[in-house]
Amino acid sequence: MKTHERFLNYVRIHTASSEDSTTVPTTARQFDLAKLLVEELHALGIENARVDDKCYVYASIPATAGCENAPALGFIAHMDTVPDFSGENVQPRIIENYDGGEVVLGNSGRTLSPEKLPHLPSLKGKTLIVTDGTTVLGGDDKAGIAEIITAVERILSENIPHGKICIGFTPDEEVGSGADNFDVAAFGADFAYTVDGGVDGEIEYENFNAAGAKVVVNGFNIHPGDSKNKMINALLVAMEFNAMLPAETPANTEGYEGFFHLTDMGGSVEKCEMSYILRDHSSEIMTARKATMEHAAKILNEKYGAGTVELGIRDQYRNMKEKIEPCMHLIENAIAAAKELGIEPRVQPIRGGTDGARLSFMGLPCPNLGTGDFACHGPYEHVTVEGMEKCTELVVKLVEKYAGFVLK
């Protein structure tokens, strides 16, 4: 089966995770895809494929004769889609020989536009898969799943020599808990790659240090006609808090630049809550970002009274760079494999994170490979058939390279 054919099957399965759930996985519907993937792996002859009670899919293929001493190489992707935009009833549309211009997304009133997405003209002539404008597409990360399984199918059907291959599909990556219950020992790999988002040829081993912050502002509401020197408007204090932060947001930063991102805000005069994510590649600057928020809360509590602003900060994941640098063969081999396939390797930092960041600190060095996915996490998400095919070929080529690889 072709990569994009698998992909079209997967995206129609609703697998959005949930930030508010306390169950594992956060949504039972993720099992629907997990069970299908196990069935597909069994059909390929991988008898040990299984899904555990926490919705983690594991499978492995023993090394072929003569490759028993090669490193065990893993490939990992996640099954869930983002919880903050619908992943239900996805209706993908295929556009052959895309002209590089605007694409009307169904009857949603939304349009893929080169004005807002400048990379679109570079996709001219390719086969584009888009949404109907009312859901995500699910390329993040069902494109990665399709690429891994299709690569494995080719390796087995073409009898390509290989070391031990380990396959893992995780739930709940989009809510930051995809690696929480990942069994590294049972997975059985020495090294791995996540295949999770980004254009074909992306090779990433640096990611943000990440934290989440919750701000609760407790106001004092009283009749506005009798409120002088008495009322504390929680909404206004919240705005004051945000204004005290540096104007470093996702909309005006790039590359290694970090940010404060206000993701949610709601409330009333009596009480207001805000949620932020903090990101930075530098651990030192991340520490300073946390201190900036703490200082803002301190100043406002001194101004309006103790307990007016409550601040909680929770670390989410760390920059995997320090864990990958001792294993730079993972990056060097990926670059070489891409070049051999005529793919332009793009080694760049991730302005986000993957399961691989957490797994690297759990003892499994795990950089990331692109999947050919663009504009993920919203209705403008799109992939190219050609990009997914290149990513599939890259997985196959890496398996070939590690079949004869000797650790120094």
User: For 347, phi and psi rounded to 5 degrees?
Assistant: -90, 115
Query: 138-173 burial, b if ≥16 CB within 10 A, otherwise e?
Result: bbbbbbbbbbbbbbbbbbeeeeeebbbbbbbbbbbb
- Give the span between the Cα atoms of 188 and 163, in whole angstroms: 12
What size, in residues, is the chain? 408
Q: Which of 132, 140, 173, 196 is catalytic?
A: 173
Q: Is 180 exposed, middle or buried (0-12, 13-18, 19+ CB in 10 A)?
A: middle
226 is catalytic: no
Q: Which of 40, 80, 147, 355 is catalytic?
A: 80
Alpha helices in 138-282 (DSSP H): 139-157, 184-187, 234-243
Give the three-class secondary structure for 384: strand
The answer to whether 39 and 152 are in contact (CB under 8 A) is no
The answer to whether 177 and 50 are in contact (CB under 8 A) is no
254 is catalytic: no
For residue 64, what are the contacts with CB-CB under 8 A and spacing of at least 6?
Answer: 159, 161, 162, 403
Percent helix, strand, coil in the chain, to 5, is 35, 25, 45
Measured at the CA of 325, the angle between CA 321 and CA 326, to 5 degrees, comes to 135
Which residues have a catalytic role annotated? 80, 173
